[in-house]
Chain A
Amino acid sequence: MADEHQSDAPHHTTVPVIDPGLTFASVTDKISSIVLKRKTPLAWFIGFAISFILFQLMMLAITNLVFVGIGLWGVNVPVAWGIDILNFVWWIGIGHAGTLISAILLLLRQQWRTSINRFAEAMTLFAVAQAGMYPIFHLGRPWLAYWLFPYPNTMGVWPQFRSPLMWDVFAVSTYATVSAMFWFVGLIPDFATLRDRAQSKPFQIIYGWFAMGWRGSARHWHRYEMAYLLLAGLATPLVLSVHTIVSFDFAAGIIPGWHATIFPPYFVAGAIYAGFAMVLFLTIPLRKFYGLEGFITMRHVHNMAKVMLATGLIVGYGYVVEAFFGWYSGNKYERYMIWNRMHGPYAVYYWALILCNIITPQFLWIKKVRSNLLLLWLISIVVSIGMWLERFVIVVTSLHRDFLPSSWGMYQPTQWDWAMFVGTLGFFFSLLFLFIRFLPMISIFEMRTILPEAEVEE
């Protein structure tokens, strides 16, 4: 397969996917030693401590919210969806890059995905966990969240399945479940590797428990590969459907600025854009810190930058079309909405968004920028902020001035809104720190398959 790829794309041969000197043994030992042998670096403890403190801030914010009520947040009529729903969309969008890398690039036989898919899937899972909390706590009475599911109840009523909010419940919970399964299935053979490499009894037992007796049998591998491929095939339409349905939460409403047919593709592209920015933001320091340059090479960095550029252009097209629709509709509410975005009280957010999301990624056309890790890392931060601003513009500026000037209002997030957001960042990074400490952050068995010695010579 490797040969096929190189002959299809001769320009790729100049930059190998992974370090050519690697072997089965060195791949296995290098990746598993991060978990099993190497001393946990001091920086890990510092990073984890900071994340964990912020995570406690989230716990505090949630506790307070449940005690006092939703009035703690800045949301009120007319802006009933504040930065909590915005954060939900932002987090779930970040998750999408993980599924894209693991499923879609697998189906497209992009070998370079192998070095980053495990890590990106973990990122997906943790981001979806953050996302899921927001709508639940935004319910106001989060202890009744189970009412969203259709279960036989004494009230004799069912959820309203014609509502996009119900679609969202099913989409996000399916997405979380399937992502978790996909991740776990990918981990089984690596758990077996860790089980066989672990020195201490407790680790042998724990990894062995998760490995479920995996022994690398040819029959098992055959079914395993089939299951993995089918899961990838199922996750591909799923990931596209999830952000489509998230965009329906807006597009099915009649508010100017939400009610647009461009929303599904534009949201999906935005999600991939934000997600790749996050993957770059995380992998650039990580590969340096753990000496993984042989696995996550410049080729990966370049490819991710290119995906970011491409999706950034689609997102830019989305902004242009939105503005064009507003003008071309001839509808005064639509026109006012666009004018209000550009000149109203939140105009600074709009122009900051254009700067972050449309102008900044243009630098990625330049090869020197794509090769400069520091610049790339900074661009990924700017894009992450830009995608947050995009959702702010969509959620807040559309809601705060609708049809009747008498119902206009302003929205300001409170300190508790920010505490929750910063807290979920802390929770996300806490989970990531634990992940890189206790699980192989690169898929070991898939790395073996792309080694030159893995080929059977006939």
Chain B
Amino acid sequence: MAEFDNPTDLVAAARRTYQAGYRRINGYSPYPIEELSEAIGFTHTALPIIVLIGGVLGGLGGFFMQYWMEVINYPLNVGGKPYNSWPAFIPITFECTILCAALAAVFGMLALNKLPQPYHPVFNAPNFALATRDSFFLVIEASDRKFEHDAVMKFMSGLGPKDLVDVEV
């Protein structure tokens, strides 16, 4: 794991690492850096699809819940309105759509990120508490196909980090 003290160095190092053929790499930063996820080759996430599915299910569920209750299960004539008075069902349909899509966004994000995850080896790195303050880290994981301990250490020290440590898994 290599430590950097500014985002520019981290992104440059991440690019070089990716170009060198390492794939199981990750960056850690105190705030989101768009260029960093591009640099480590992570640009696609399934989240928008999950949210879309959540919204569609919520909308259909919301409408047909009302339809089933007011038309099929317990039809009740209110002021001569049709049983399926669909314009009156729209507000609740809309709210259900938003609610389910938002739940899908939050829980989908947490699930894809595998959170909550109380323990992770990177927390063992001595300076890692600074990843939530002003330090930037780059990791090449041991599970990478190209991983060879000495070669990786040599490669990473060539990236010009502020500090370089070996983290026990």
Contacts and interface: CB of A to CB of B under 8 A. Distances in A.
Interface of A: 23-25, 28-29, 150, 156-162, 164, 166-167, 170-171, 174, 177-178, 181-182, 184-185, 189, 192-193, 195-197, 208, 212-227, 230-231, 234-235, 237-238, 241, 245, 248, 445-446, 448-449, 453-457
A158 B105 CA distance: 30
Given A217-B28, A234-B55, 13 more contacts: A193-B132, A196-B132, A212-B115, A218-B14, A218-B26, A218-B42, A219-B113, A222-B37, A226-B45, A226-B109, A234-B51, A245-B91, A455-B7
Interface string B89-112: 101101110110111011011101
Contacts of B69: 150, 158-159, 161
Given A162-B85, A227-B109, A456-B33, A216 B132 contact: yes
A158 B74 contact: yes
Contacts of B76: 160
Contacts of A248: 91
Interface stretch (B116-124, B142-150, B159-167): B116-124
Contact of B70 (A158, A185, A222): A158
Contacts of A24: 30, 133-134
Interface in B128-153: 128-134
B24 to A, nearest CB: 11
Q: What are the 7 tightest A-B residue pairs by CB atom distance, in nearest-first order? A: A212-B116, A24-B134, A227-B109, A196-B129, A158-B69, A213-B117, A221-B32
B53 to A, nearest CB: 12
A216 B51 contact: no
Greatest chain A CB density within 10 A among B14, B33, B76 is at B33
A14 B6 CA distance: 27
Contacts of A457: 8
B2 interface: no
Interface in B70-98: 70, 73-74, 76, 78, 81, 85, 88-89, 91-92, 94-96, 98
30 contacts: A24-B134, A28-B133, A28-B134, A158-B69, A164-B91, A167-B91, A177-B99, A181-B103, A185-B106, A197-B132, A212-B115, A213-B119, A215-B123, A216-B29, A216-B31, A217-B27, A218-B28, A218-B40, A218-B42, A219-B113, A222-B43, A223-B47, A226-B109, A227-B106, A230-B47, A234-B55, A235-B102, A448-B30, A453-B7, A456-B36
A265 B73 CA distance: 36
A189 B47 CA distance: 19
Interface residues of B, number: 69
A420 B99 CA distance: 30
B11 interface: yes
Given A189-B132, A218-B26, A170 B96 contact: yes
Contact of B48 (A220, A230, A445): A230
Contacts of B66: 161
Contacts of A445: 30-32
B110 A212 contact: yes
B98 A178 contact: yes
Contacts of A196: 129-133
Contact of B92 (A161, A238, A455): A161
Nearest to B47: A226
Contact of A241 (B95, B122, B131): B95
A169 to B, nearest CB: 9
A311 to B, nearest CB: 23
Given A213-B116, A224-B32, A231 B26 contact: no
Contacts of A449: 31-32
A219 B76 CA distance: 52
Given A193-B133, A234-B98, A218 B29 contact: yes
A189 B117 CA distance: 14
A439 B10 CA distance: 30
B99 A218 contact: no
B106 to A, nearest CB: 5
A267 to B, nearest CB: 14
A367 B137 CA distance: 46
B65 interface: yes
A248 B88 CA distance: 11
A114 to B, nearest CB: 11
B102 A178 contact: yes
A222 B42 contact: yes
Contacts of B130: 196
B131 to A, nearest CB: 5
B47 A23 contact: no
Contacts of B48: 226, 230
A449 B35 CA distance: 13
B121 to A, nearest CB: 10
Nearest to A446: B31
Nearest to A218: B27
A185 B98 contact: no
Given A28-B133, A226-B45, A234 B74 contact: no
